[in-house]
């Protein structure tokens, strides 16, 4: 089959590799689409702890079941599925206390170990596959994985209706968080991004107010919930100052591992600010499937570009420039 292979840091090719063979409890999926995200850049650049090369990237994907292992009864050839790429060991301390996303042997298809979905076919454990309900198209379904990360983020927020949200970053994740905030009953959702070209889309997707900086939003008392979806230290430092007394700041965007940000511990103490991280997916994939079916996010706006397998390197270059929203690889294209 044809597949994108990252041979090592900064070395990407599209080449022919062996077709996958399923283990007894595996499903082989003919990939319809695989989204590109910041994590793929870390895999390509070699700055992620644990990635084993060579690796086929691609962890946000969906497709059609092409083959099932000998012990799989719950899926059949032709089923349309989305795949939770996260692989938890089930044996470590964190898995045993129900926090598999903090697994000591955390693994994810296309991120840590071979093989991901930037290929014609991809193998996944049956337990990680989710049947797509009728309203969700294969074109849209690769958005379920990032949406499941956003749903996990919301699981860690206070979840009170009628509060004001401020989201940093109008890229794919910021736009998803803003749409979820609306759906979750926010009184008002504001989105800031220094790349002002992205702001009209945020407004079109339902953000009440958009701006290049929170200063323009003139809300000196601050916001009950502030979510950083940029991973950029200046945004994180600014965002922390915008949290209302008793409010919550979420670190959702992925900052570089060595980055450091400063904040006022006195203010966190005195104003009882909650600071909470959110990492990947936990018990949230099935709910993301249902939210996609309900069109809580607008998939047509969220996917801005589609590329064939041979165009993977060009797609990555475009993504690095901050162009568009979700870029998707479609092996059949």
Q: Where do contacts with Zn ion occur on this chain (CB under 5 A)?
A: 37, 39, 60, 89, 92, 95, 103
Distance CA 160, CA 278 (A): 18
35 vs 222, which CB is nearer to Zn ion?
Answer: 35
59 vs 242, which CB is nearer to Zn ion?
Answer: 59
DSSP per-residue letters across 141-163: GGGHHHHHHHHHHHHTS---TT-
Least CB distance to Zn ion at residue 61 (A): 10
Distance CA 255, CA 150 (A): 16
Q: Is 223 helix (H, G, I), strand (E, B) or coil?
A: strand
What is the token pair recorded at 153? Answer: 């983020």
Least CB distance to Zn ion at residue 93 (A): 8
Sheet hosting strand 274-277, strand order edge to edge: 209-211, 188-192, 164-168, 223-228, 243-251, 274-277
CB 265 within 8 A of CB 240: no
Least CB distance to Zn ion at residue 204 (A): 23
Distance CA 123, CA 114 (A): 10
Least CB distance to Zn ion at residue 143 (A): 10
Residue whose structure tokens are 């089930």: 90
42 vs 209, which CB is nearer to Zn ion?
Answer: 42
37 vs 303, which CB is nearer to Zn ion?
Answer: 37
Q: Is 266 helix (H, G, I), strand (E, B) or coil?
A: helix
β-pairing verdict for 26-36 and 60-68: antiparallel
Least CB distance to Zn ion at residue 95 (A): 3
CB 206 within 8 A of CB 189: yes
Least CB distance to Zn ion at residue 157 (A): 20
98 vs 265, which CB is nearer to Zn ion?
Answer: 98
Distance CA 281, CA 307 (A): 26
Which residues are CB-contacts of 130 (< 8 A; sequence separation ≥ 6)? 81, 82, 83, 84, 144, 285, 286, 289
Least CB distance to Zn ion at residue 25 (A): 18
Least CB distance to Zn ion at residue 230 (A): 15
1 vs 92, which CB is nearer to Zn ion?
Answer: 92
39 vs 190, which CB is nearer to Zn ion?
Answer: 39
186 vs 280, which CB is nearer to Zn ion?
Answer: 280
Question: How many C-beta neighbours within 10 Å does residue 281 have?
Answer: 23
221 CB burial (10 A radius; 0-12, 13-18, 19+):
exposed
Distance CA 216, CA 190 (A): 11
Distance CA 313, CA 292 (A): 29
Least CB distance to Zn ion at residue 36 (A): 8
């Amino acid at each position: 089959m044809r597949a994108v292979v990252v041979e090592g840091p900064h070395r990407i090719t599209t080449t022919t590799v062996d077709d996958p063979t399923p283990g007894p409890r595996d499903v082989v999926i003919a990939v319809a689409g695989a989204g590109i995200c910041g994590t793929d850049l870390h895999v390509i650049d070699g700055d992620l702890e644990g990635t084993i090369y060579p690796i086929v990237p691609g962890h946000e994907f969906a497709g059609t079941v092409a083959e099932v292992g000998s012990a799989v009864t719950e899926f059949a050839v032709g089923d349309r599925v989305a795949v939770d790429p996260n692989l938890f060991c089930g044996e470590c301390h964190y898995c045993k206390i129900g926090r598999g996303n903090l697994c000591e042997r955390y693994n994810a298809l296309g991120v840590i170990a071979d093989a991901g979905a930037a290929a014609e076919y991809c193998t996944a454990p049956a337990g990680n596959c989710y049947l797509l309900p009728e309203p969700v198209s294969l074109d849209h379904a690769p958005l379920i994985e990032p949406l499941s990360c956003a749903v996990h983020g919301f699981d860690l927020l206070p979840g009170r209706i009628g509060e004001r949200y401020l989201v940093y970053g109008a890229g794919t994740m910021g736009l998803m968080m803003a749409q979820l905030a609306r759906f979750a009953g926010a009184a008002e959702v504001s989105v800031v991004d220094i790349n002002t070209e992205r702001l009209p889309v945020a407004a079109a997707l339902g953000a009440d107010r958009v701006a290049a900086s929170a200063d323009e939003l003139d809300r000196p008392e601050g916001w009950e919930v502030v979510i950083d979806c940029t991973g950029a230290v200046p945004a994180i430092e600014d965002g922390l100052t915008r949290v209302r007394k008793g409010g919550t700041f979420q670190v959702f965007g992925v900052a570089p591992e060595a980055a450091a940000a400063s904040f006022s511990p006195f203010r966190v103490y005195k104003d009882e600010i909650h600071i909470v991280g959110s990492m990947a997916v936990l018990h949230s994939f099935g709910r993301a499937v249902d939210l996609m079916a309900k069109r809580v996010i607008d998939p047509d706006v969220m996917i801005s570009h589609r590329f064939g397998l041979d165009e993977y390197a060009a797609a990555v270059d475009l993504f690095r420039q901050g162009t568009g929203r979700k870029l998707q690889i479609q092996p059949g294209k």
